[in-house]
Amino acid sequence: MTIELTPLPFEASQLEPFISERTVLLHHGGHQAAYVKNLNAMLEGDERNLIEVIGDSSGAMFNNAAQVWNHEFLWNSLAPAGQGPSSEVDEELSRAFGSTDSFLTQLIQAASGHFGSGWAWLVSDGSGLQITTTSNAEMPSLATSQPLLTIDVWEHAYYLDYQNRRPEYLETVLRNLINWQHLEEQLILSTTLTHRS
């Protein structure tokens, strides 16, 4: 099975001025495309899909497969500025974190404090909403939790625009570019999965 580089769900320029078109193009067409290319080279003649590869592999194959999945989820977690959370999402975040603003503050703090490369996530794990971070290519367990939102804290996600100012990048992006509709769709999915289990 050939793994495809999924197109961006928006034009590369549409995240400006918060993330530059140059950064988006390098991130998607450079870094993510390299993970896709590397993974396909390892999967020649292999018919597993991306989720199966992630679940069944380790080392370089896992790293490339997980980074493909993580980046696809990242782009769906972002949207051009102008949205806001629905009342349902606001209610869920307020129940878990006190308010939507408090949620954003806690996510920014977790992502800022994460040492080295990796990801910060909002997940639903069956017991409620949780903020977590993962290192390098690691991701939350798809068997026990439903990711709702992610932000990339690898330097390639922000260095061209923010240099070493990770907290500024996180504050700017998470307060302006969250795809609230996607978050709500994942939240509905997590509720459906919880009711089935």
Distance, in Å, from the CA atom of 145 to the CA atom of 163, rounded to the nearest integer, reads: 33
pLDDT means per 10 residues, the chain with 197 residues, are 95 98 98 98 93 95 98 98 92 97 98 98 94 97 94 98 98 98 94 53
Main-chain dihedrals φ then ψ at residue 178, nearest 5 degrees: -65, 135
| 72 and 140 part of one domain | no
pLDDT at 193: 54
| 151 and 97 part of one domain | yes
Distance, in Å, from the CA atom of 6 to the CA atom of 19, rounded to the nearest integer, reads: 19
How many alpha carbons lie under 13 Å from residue 176 in its C-beta half-sphere? 14
| 98 and 123 part of one domain | yes
- Cite the beta strand spans of the chain per DSSP E: 118-124, 129-135, 146-152
CATH number at residue 66: 1.10.287.990
CATH number at residue 130: 3.55.40.20
Q: Is residue 2 part of a domain?
A: no
How many alpha carbons lie under 13 Å from residue 131 in its C-beta half-sphere? 19
What digits encode the pLDDT tens for the residues 23-70? 999 999 999 999 999 999 999 989 999 999 999 999 999 999 999 999
pLDDT at 195: 44
| 118 and 71 part of one domain | no
| 66 and 100 part of one domain | no
Return the residue matching tokens 């509709």: 181
Domain tally, the chain:
2
List Cβ neighbours of 144 (8 Å cut-off, separation of 6 or more): 125, 126
Q: Is residue 120 part of a domain?
A: yes
| 161 and 101 part of one domain | yes
| 96 and 70 part of one domain | no
pLDDT at 170: 98
Q: What residues make up the domain containing 135? A: 87-196
Distance, in Å, from the CA atom of 166 to the CA atom of 119, rounded to the nearest integer, reads: 12
| 188 and 97 part of one domain | yes
Q: What is the pTM of this model?
A: 0.95
